[in-house]
Chains A and B, each alone.
Chain A
Amino acid sequence: MSSEVGSIAPAPEGLVPEELSEALIARLRAGDLDLPLLPSVATEVLELARRADADAARLAEVLQRDQALAGHVMRLANSASYAARVPIVSLPQAISRLGLTALRDMVVAVAVRGKVFHVPGCNDVVAPMWRHALATAYWAREIARARRSNVEAAFLCGLLHDVGSPVVLQAILDVQCRRSVLYARPVIEYAILHFHGVFGGTLVAGWNMPPAVSDAILYHHDYSALERPSESVLLTHLADKMAAWMGLHDGYPRPPETEATIAAAQVIEDLNIYPDEVAQLFGLRERIAAWVAEVEE
């Protein structure tokens, strides 16, 4: 399933002015968006990670061209999650320690943070969005693991589920600039809430991501439009709620999440998670907060 630009509904007029809705839809239809590409180093690492002859030395060589990325790899490999018995001092050593899956996840995470969750002058809005995305990724991964489902796609879906939000924000800033208007923060938040799915879907369409990722982006807030939502969409929906419950909000107007609201959510029934299993998930909160903090450092 992919986003259909032609079928975007305008946001409710009482919440988002009609002219802003129209301007955003027009820009999306016209392809008039600054859609970030993944940095070349990240793309190259992702490509290398899929090759039969991938080796730590070659990956290290590529990573060294992006010092920020290399720094993150070193930090993560030395973090408590990977429980290194001896300090990791070289990039090849760090890559070997992390493995291809973790390396790929981290490279996507860092690249997305740097290129997408980066709107100059709006760090106060975008930084929480990023933390929310990261927490959602970890929650999705652990929920998938608890369900004996493969964790690779779950992490990516969680990480990228709100990738459209900063793109919408940037587009709103552009509209403000071109029309010399200033929208109130609630207006911006509602506009992001309404448009981030379809903007995100358009963005990742050029990134060669698995279809599960596009579905998670498009339907993670409301999957009722899908006759049979995939497990990825359901996992991302629940993970998004868990991240909000931790206090890591996505920056939209949304009711607060509590253990009670999550336990009562329809997705719990749709994923067939029984009360004791829900309680076990809640018990992961501290661990996931620590992982988010590690990557955040």
Chain B
Amino acid sequence: MHVDVLVIGSGPSGQQAALQARRAGRSVVVVEKDSTVGGACVHRGTIPSKTLRETAVYLAGLPKRTAGNVEAALDERTRLESLMSRLDHVVASHTDSIAATMARAGVQVCRGRARFVSPHAVEVTQVRGKVEQWTADVIVVAAGSRPRAPEGIPVDHEHVLDSDSVLAMVYLPRSLTVLGGGVIASEYASIFACLGVATTIVDKAPRPLAFLDHELSEAFVQRFDNYPGCRYLGGQQIEGVSWEGIGRVATRLAGGTEVVSEKVLCALGRVPNLEALDVAAAGLRANARGFLEVDPYGRTSVPHIYAVGDVVGPPALASSALAQGRRAVCHALSLAQRSDEGAIPTGIYTVPEMAAIGLTEAQARETHADVRVGRASFAEVARGHISAGTDGLLKLVVDGGGGILGAHILGEGATELIHLAQLAMAGGQNVDVFVDNVFNFPTLAEAYRVAAERLVDAAHSAPV
């Protein structure tokens, strides 16, 4: 069987690649090894953790929002699944929606495991063992990733869990050690901390989420350390993890420190799902870190094979994966692409949420001579007080002419708020746009106005 475009994987990047190709009138097949479409993002990652997060945030916010009249303490017998009772519904609705969108667009989905047999041919083994072969003019590898299991850390999905198994715990643990300081580690650590679990993050970096503007990651650590029994241990070398019985897993650190907890979550990165694909048969080779090397359009060293999403490494976020999938197919099919595609926002579903777009302050200072920063605290807008979320902050980074270089937000609603900055940047607006336009009142979006006014006022008062 032959198609114009064959996509391996149906996560966010695979979906976008397939839909973009269909919009261009090409025949498309998506090979998906799971029984439903959506990828790890839907079934084991983004959607399940966000569902738990929603409950955690709601419960934690109750006492504040009700002035202490309603307490929502969870006892130690709380079943984890009871906190995610909507999960099945959320996942089913989302996968149904993806499947319907793909079907409407005319994307054929072939369930099975893909394996390259040549640069243009892919063998698909179905779950019953039946094998069929597909050939395609363009192949997009969007096979996703799975949690890395580093040597010396015995992930048994019982005492030592990974991000696939952590949400299948029966009960909330009393204590948890999270290994790693990336997005997944920080998200789960803050969610469990918010649920009252004594959580310790251990990582080699001095601060977590090092790719973020330092003010955001420092504010995150400050808020995380404020949860009872929670702390961030940065600059640590993990020497080993061992289960020592009686609800005790010991994490040994260089220097002799030992962190003991009931469970450990190992979130020390992810590895791409490439082994079973036999990419060598297509003339491809993974780099030293196990990822496929690609150019800015997602093209690999074999010109008609593209790679997108987690198989190409960081940032490995759903938002960037969506853009990569679309960009790859546009390039492969010589479709018109916006030259000013714009920056892609980063959303991190920690508690509190964080979001960013464009350059951090440090990056801006490396590339621009004149960099100005405007800040606003959510305590400066009425909505922050109404929603008991005054500990949020918004930071705008602009150039000397007021051009927006980046925006960084910490606080509830950050992942939605960031889109205002995204559109302003995409439209080439400068920071005045947040002063000249009236936002609804009371909203958190007003924080943009506060930060922008500071920048504008400072510019006007600057010596000529």
Contact = CB atoms under 8 A, between A and B. Distances in A.
Interface stretch (B50-58, B168-176, B309-317, B455-463): B168-176
Interface in B134-161: 146-147, 156-159, 161
A152 interface: yes
A148 B159 CA distance: 13
A148 B166 CA distance: 10
B127 A151 contact: no
Contacts of B2: none
Contacts of B174: 52
Interface string B239-254: 0000111111000000
B123 to A, nearest CB: 13
Nearest to A100: B247
Q: Could you say which interface size class chain A belongs to?
A: 35 or more
B278 interface: no
Contacts of A55: 246
Contact of A98 (B35, B129, B245): B245
A273 interface: yes
Given A99-B243, A268-B127, A149 B81 contact: no
Interface in A74-108: 95-101
Interface in A256-272: 268-270, 272
Contacts of B79: 210
B229 to A, nearest CB: 11
A21 to B, nearest CB: 34
Contacts of A211: 81
Nearest to B147: A148
B170 A274 contact: no
A123 to B, nearest CB: 32
B159 A101 contact: yes
Contact of B164 (A148, A156, A269, A270): A148
B56 to A, nearest CB: 19
Given A152-B169, A212-B81, A99 B159 contact: yes
B33 A272 contact: yes
Given A100-B246, A230-B88, A275-B129, A148 B165 contact: yes
Contacts of B156: 145, 151
B416 interface: no
A133 B171 CA distance: 23
A269 B157 contact: no
A150 B171 CA distance: 11
Interface string A125-153: 00000000000000000001100111111
A272 B127 contact: yes
A54 interface: yes
Contacts of A152: 158, 168-170
Interface string B44-84: 00000000000000000000000000000000110101000
A115 interface: no
A53 B246 CA distance: 11
A99 B247 contact: yes
A56 interface: yes
A264 to B, nearest CB: 8
A212 B171 CA distance: 13
A54 to B, nearest CB: 7
Nearest to B174: A52
A96 B245 contact: yes
B159 A274 contact: no
A79 to B, nearest CB: 15
A150 B161 contact: yes
A150 B165 contact: yes
Q: Could you say which interface size class chain B belongs to?
A: 35 or more
Nearest to A77: B245
Given A95-B245, A210-B81, A272-B34, A153 B159 contact: no
Interface string B98-115: 000000000000000100
Contacts of A230: 88
A50 interface: yes
A99 to B, nearest CB: 4
Contacts of B162: 148
Most chain A C-beta atoms within 10 Å of own C-beta, residue among B79, B162, B246? B246
A156 B88 CA distance: 21
Contacts of B147: 148
A98 B244 CA distance: 9
Contacts of A95: 245-246
Given A150-B161, A152-B169, A273-B127, A54 B246 contact: yes
A228 B76 contact: no
Contact of A101 (B76, B127, B158, B161): B158
B456 to A, nearest CB: 52
B128 interface: yes
B125 interface: yes
A179 interface: no
A197 to B, nearest CB: 21
Contact of A269 (B127, B161, B247): B127
Nearest to A230: B88
Given A98-B245, A99-B245, A52 B158 contact: no
A51 interface: yes
Contacts of A273: 127
Contact of A52 (B76, B159, B164): B76
Contacts of A270: 35
B92 interface: yes
B128 to A, nearest CB: 7
A186 B298 CA distance: 65
A150 B169 contact: yes
A28 to B, nearest CB: 27
A227 B75 CA distance: 32
B76 A51 contact: yes
Interface string B14-56: 0000000000000000000111000000000000000000000
A50 B74 CA distance: 13
A95 B158 CA distance: 17
Contacts of B81: 210-212
Given A50-B76, A99-B245, A268-B127, A149 B168 contact: yes
5 residue pairs, one from A and one from B, having the closest CB atoms: A150-B168, A99-B245, A148-B164, A100-B247, A96-B245
12 contacts: A50-B76, A96-B245, A98-B245, A100-B247, A145-B158, A149-B157, A150-B166, A153-B170, A210-B81, A268-B128, A269-B35, A269-B127
Given A152-B170, A269-B128, 4 more contacts: A50-B77, A210-B81, A228-B92, A268-B127
Interface of A: 49-52, 54-56, 95-101, 144-145, 148-153, 156, 210-212, 228, 230, 268-270, 272-275
